[in-house]
C-alpha cells in the first residue's frame, strides 16, 4: 500500500533513467512523445529517414538537465536490413530499452467518395488511387510497426529486473482515430491501414505478453504534424489553427490536440504497468460524433 506522499506526480510519472526509442521522432507526434519523455528524465533515441531533421530536433528540443534526445540512423523502418543496422547501433550504446514508440507513418492517396453515382464514385477513386499507393501505405503504417517491434523485443525484455526495477518494458503504437471510425475521410488506404495497426497492436499485446512486454496504442485525433499540415517550421514543429478543425464540424473540442495532451497519454502508458492491450483515443471527442466500430 502506498502512503499519500508516495503518490506525487513527479514520482509516479517520472521516467528518469529510462532508455527509449521513437521511430519518426523528429517531427509531429513522434517529437511530442520524445519531448515528453526527455523532459521527465529519459534518454530518448530518435530515428527516421532524414538525419538532418533528427539532428535539428535534438539540437532544438533537448532539455536542460536530466533527459537527453539522441539522433540515430538514418533508418527506413520499412527495411529489415536497416532495422538490423539500427539494432546494432543501439546495442553498441545500451544494454536494454524500456520503451519503443512506433510512430513512423504516411498519409497516402486521397479520393473523397462524394458522389451518389456509382459510376462517378468508381471513376474518381479508381483514378485517384493505385495498388502501389496502397502497398506503400500498408508497408509504412502496418508492416514497419510489426517488424520494428519484433526487432527490439530482446532489448526490451533485457530491461526486466534491472537495478531500477520494477519496470515493465512496453511498446506504444501510434495508430489513429481514423482506424476506428467508419468514415473513410477520403483516405481509404490510410484508414484501412490504421485499422490494421489498431488490431496489430492488440495481437502483439496478447502474443508478446509471453516475453513480458506490454503493447498499447494511442489513436490520435487532429494533431499538428508534417502529415496533417504538409510541413514544419525551423524547430520541426507544425502549426494547426483551430479554424481548420472547426470547419470539419465533428470535433467537440473545436481545436487540435496539444503537445501537453499527447505527452500525458505517452507518459501514462509508459508508466502504468497494469495497462496492456489498450487503444486510447486522444481525439477531442471526435469518436463520439463520427460512427465507429
Buried b (16+ CB within 10 A) or exposed e, 104-140: bbbbbbebebeeeeeeeeeebbeeebeeebbebbbbb
Q: In sequence order, what are the beta bridge partners of 117?
A: none
Give me the DSSP letters along 205-236: HHHGGGGT-EEEEEEE-S---HHHHS---TTS
**Grid cell at residue 243:** 479554424
Spatial contact of 253 and 287, defined as CB atoms under 8 Å apart? no
Strands, E assignment, 146-284 = 170-174, 214-220, 279-282
Cell of 23: 521511430
- The question of whether 175 is a catalytic residue gets the answer yes
Question: Quick check: is 163 catalytic?
Answer: no
Cα 272-274-280 angle, rounded to 5 deg: 70
| Cα end-to-end distance, the chain, whole Å | 39
DSSP 87-124: HHHHHTT-S--SEEEE-------------S-HHHHHHH
Query: Residue 190 catalytic?
Result: yes
Distance CA 45, CA 72 (A): 6
* Marked catalytic residue, from 148, 175, 176, 238: 175
What are the grid coordinates assigned to 247, written together?
Answer: 470547419
The catalytic residue among 194, 205, 225, 238 is 194
Catalytic residue among 18, 45, 190, 222: 190
- Catalytic center residues: 175, 190, 194
Amino acid at each position: 500500500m502506498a502512503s499519500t506522499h508516495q503518490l506525487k506526480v513527479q514520482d509516479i510519472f517520472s521516467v528518469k533513467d529510462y532508455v527509449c526509442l521513437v521511430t519518426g521522432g523528429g517531427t509531429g507526434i513522434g517529437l511530442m512523445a520524445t519531448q515528453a519523455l526527455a523532459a521527465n528524465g529519459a534518454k530518448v533515441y530518435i530515428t527516421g529517414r532524414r538525419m538532418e531533421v533528427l539532428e535539428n530536433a535534438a539540437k532544438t528540443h533537448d532539455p536542460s538537465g536530466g533527459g537527453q534526445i539522441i539522433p540515430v540512423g538514418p533508418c527506413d523502418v520499412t527495411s529489415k536490413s536497416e532495422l538490423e543496422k539500427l539494432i546494432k547501433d543501439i546495442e553498441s550504446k545500451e544494454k536494454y530499452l524500456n520503451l519503443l514508440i512506433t510512430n513512423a507513418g504516411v498519409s497516402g492517396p486521397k479520393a473523397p467518395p462524394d458522389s451518389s453515382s456509382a459510376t462517378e464514385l468508381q471513376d474518381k477513386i479508381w483514378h485517384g488511387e493505385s495498388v502501389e499507393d496502397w502497398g506503400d501505405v500498408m508497408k509504412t503504417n502496418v508492416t514497419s510497426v510489426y517488424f520494428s517491434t519484433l526487432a527490439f523485443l530482446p532489448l526490451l525484455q533485457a530491461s526486466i529486473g534491472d537495478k531500477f526495477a520494477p519496470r515493465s518494458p512496453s511498446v506504444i503504437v501510434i495508430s489513429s482515430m481514423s482506424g476506428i471510425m467508419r468514415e473513410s475521410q477520403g483516405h481509404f488506404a490510410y484508414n484501412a491501414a490504421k485499422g490494421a495497426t489498431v488490431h496489430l497492436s492488440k495481437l502483439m499485446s496478447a502474443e508478446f505478453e509471453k516475453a513480458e512486454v506490454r503493447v498499447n496504442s494511442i489513436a490520435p485525433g487532429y494533431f499538428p504534424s508534417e502529415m496533417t499540415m504538409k510541413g514544419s517550421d525551423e524547430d520541426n514543429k507544425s502549426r494547426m489553427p483551430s479554424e481548420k478543425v472547426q470547419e470539419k464540424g465533428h470535433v467537440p473540442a473545436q481545436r487540435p490536440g496539444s503537445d501537453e495532451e499527447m505527452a500525458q497519454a505517452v507518459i501514462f502508458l509508459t508508466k502504468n504497468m497494469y495497462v496492456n492491450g489498450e487503444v486510447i483515443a486522444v481525439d477531442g471527442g471526435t469518436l463520439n460524433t463520427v460512427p465507429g466500430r
